[in-house]
């Protein structure tokens, strides 16, 4: 997949470019104009200055995924958008280590995030990337690892002699003049899902990273599907075949947060498993983590909480008691009101509410628009610490739309 122009990377692969890039501190938009002028005045070419500032901006942005490693890596915009976070890539690599794999081919390696994690665990890595600019970035990023080799080639044509494990992160975006655009059809990915199935049929240990919105009906029958969320953001679903598939697990939700890691698994296929009860909105309302919802494990969480769904088609759970869980955010139910804008506006005024957090599921209401309707004019930007804050959860119970007034509950313990 074509990415950033090669000329944006080439100036950095010179002694002058690399030294200049390394001399810059964290990127700040407010300083970019002045820095541009200063670097040009110092005698650096416009092409080099542009490349250095672009790369500095990407490195600063990449710190969220790569931490301190970002300051020594090269990035492209599209490559960074799809790159795996290092803490997640490490878990991918652990799968191959646990399966006894020795040599992994990272097909469509992108910037090399997963290859970096694999190589750091002493696996032999062949990183294959079709885009020349991205392959150049991966080569630089993997320099510290002599056991990793970058090959500029089509992932579907790369030789796999001596390879006993394969990892794929298919390109799911295309670059246009206005930026990048996501692709949704698995057969339009590069490489396509059918190619992954062919690799799995060879008997090798195969793992593939897919977009978290992958429909259940598109998940192959012979794999484990593990949805992953990081700090509440669902980042991927990884499909695992053969030796890297865990016995007795069909689907899983892995939740990574500041309190650690927690995982829920099921051996049943999608649409099977426990059938949840449905009951009233009362006690405590739980909002399941996105990975739990994607993996179809909401009913399992409801069972563990001793609770029920508020509607059989909506992923909100209510339970009579507060149970600390990494798999759902808890709220104390204060009141349940019919969804009526006029009545809600009167309630906001009566309570003196100036800050309103609105969550929703199962309704077409736009929280931003409703907030403008409910809050007094000019009050939505009340200074921090002043005024009264409230949280509304908008949802549907059968045919009725309701607004649930809740109070967020802070998690008390780390996951087991």
Q: Is the residue at 272 inside a domain? A: no
Q: For residue 377, tell me if it sits in a domain.
A: yes
Same domain, yes or no, for 339 and 325? no
Residue 273 lies in a domain: no
Residue 274's pLDDT is: 79
The enclosing domain of 393 has a CATH number of 3.30.2300
Query: Any bridge partners for residue 255, and if so which?
Result: 229, 262
Domain boundary at 75, 106, 129, which? 75
Looking at 329-396, list the stretches that DSSP marks H as alpha helix, in order from N- to C-terminal side: 341-351, 367-374
Whether residue 94 lies inside any domain: the answer is yes
Looking at the structure of the chain, the number of domains it has is 4
Same domain, 94 and 70: no
- Whether 212 is covered by a domain: the verdict is yes
Q: Are 245 and 298 within one domain?
A: no
360 located within any domain: yes
User: Are 182 and 106 part of one and the same domain?
Assistant: yes
Neighbours of 109 (CB within 10 A): 31
Kindly state whether residues 147 and 182 are assigned to the same domain: yes
Same domain? For 301 and 340 the reply is no
Both 127 and 249 in one domain: the answer is yes
Contact 204, 242 (CB under 8 A): yes
Question: Which parts of the chain have pLDDT scores under 50?
Answer: 1-4, 380-383, 413-416
Give the dihedral of Cα atoms 359, 362, 366, 368; nearest 10 deg: 0
pLDDT for residue 230 = 96
- Provide, rounded to the nearest whole percent, the portion of the chain with pLDDT above 90: 82
pLDDT score for 412 = 55
pLDDT score at 191:
83
Q: Quick check: is 413 in a domain?
A: no
Domain boundary among 50, 75, 100: 75
Residue 22 and residue 159 in one domain: no
Full residue range of the structural domain in which residue 30 is found? 10-75
Helix (H) or strand (E) holding 138: helix 132-141
Same domain, 230 and 257: yes
Answer yes or no: do 49 and 140 share one domain.
no
| Any domain includes 277 | no
Residues 355 and 317 in one domain: no
Instruction: Determine the pLDDT at residue 414.
Output: 38
Write phi, then psi, for 204 (nearest 5 degrees): -70, 160
Which pLDDT tens digit goes with each residue over 59-118? 999 999 999 999 999 999 989 998 999 999 999 999 999 999 999 999 999 999 999 999
Which among 354, 97, 371, 103 is positioned nearest to 244, based on CA atoms?
97
């Amino acid at each position: 997949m074509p990415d950033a122009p090669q000329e944006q990377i080439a100036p950095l692969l010179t002694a002058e470019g690399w030294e200049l890039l390394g001399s810059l501190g964290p990127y700040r938009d407010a300083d970019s104009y002045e820095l541009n002028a200063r670097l040009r005045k110092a005698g650096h070419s416009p092409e080099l200055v542009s490349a250095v500032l672009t790369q500095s901006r990407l490195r600063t942005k990449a710190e969220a995924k790569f931490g301190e490693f970002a300051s020594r890596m090269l990035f492209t915009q599209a490559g960074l958008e799809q790159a795996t976070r290092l803490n997640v890539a490490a878990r991918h690599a652990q799968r191959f280590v646990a399966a006894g794999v020795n040599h992994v081919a990272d097909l469509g390696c992108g910037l090399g995030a997963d290859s970096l994690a694999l190589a750091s665990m002493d696996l032999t890595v062949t990183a294959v990337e079709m885009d020349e600019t991205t392959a150049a970035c991966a080569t630089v990023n993997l320099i510290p690892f002599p056991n990793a080799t970058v090959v500029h080639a089509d992932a579907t044509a790369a030789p796999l002699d001596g390879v006993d494990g394969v990892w794929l992160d298919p390109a799911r975006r295309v670059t246009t003049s206005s930026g990048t655009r996501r692709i949704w059809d698995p057969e339009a990915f590069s490489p396509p899902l059918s190619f992954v199935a062919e690799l799995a049929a060879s008997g090798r240990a195969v793992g593939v990273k897919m977009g978290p919105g992958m429909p259940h009906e598109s998940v192959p029958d012979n794999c484990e599907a593990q949805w992953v969320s990081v700090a509440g953001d669902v980042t991927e679903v990884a499909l695992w075949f053969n030796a890297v598939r865990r016995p007795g697990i069909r689907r899983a939700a892995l939740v990574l947060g500041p309190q650690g890691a927690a995982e829920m698994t099921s051996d049943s296929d999608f649409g099977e498993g426990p059938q949840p009860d449905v009951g009233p909105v009362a006690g405590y309302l739980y909002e399941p983590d996105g990975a739990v919802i994607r993996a179809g494990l909401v009913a399992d969480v409801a069972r563990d909480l001793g609770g029920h769904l508020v509607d059989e088609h909506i992923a909100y759970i209510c339970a009579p008691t507060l149970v600390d869980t990494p798999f759902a955010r808890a709220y104390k139910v204060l009141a349940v009101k019919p969804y009526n804008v006029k009545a809600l506006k009167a309630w906001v005024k009566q309570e003196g509410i100036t800050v309103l957090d609105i969550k929703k599921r199962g309704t077409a209401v736009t929280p931003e628009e409703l907030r403008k309707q409910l809050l007094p004019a000019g009050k939505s930007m009340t200074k921090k610490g002043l005024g009264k804050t409230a949280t509304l959860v908008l949802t549907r119970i059968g045919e009725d739309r309701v607004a649930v007034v809740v109070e967020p509950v802070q998690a008390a313990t780390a996951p087991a």
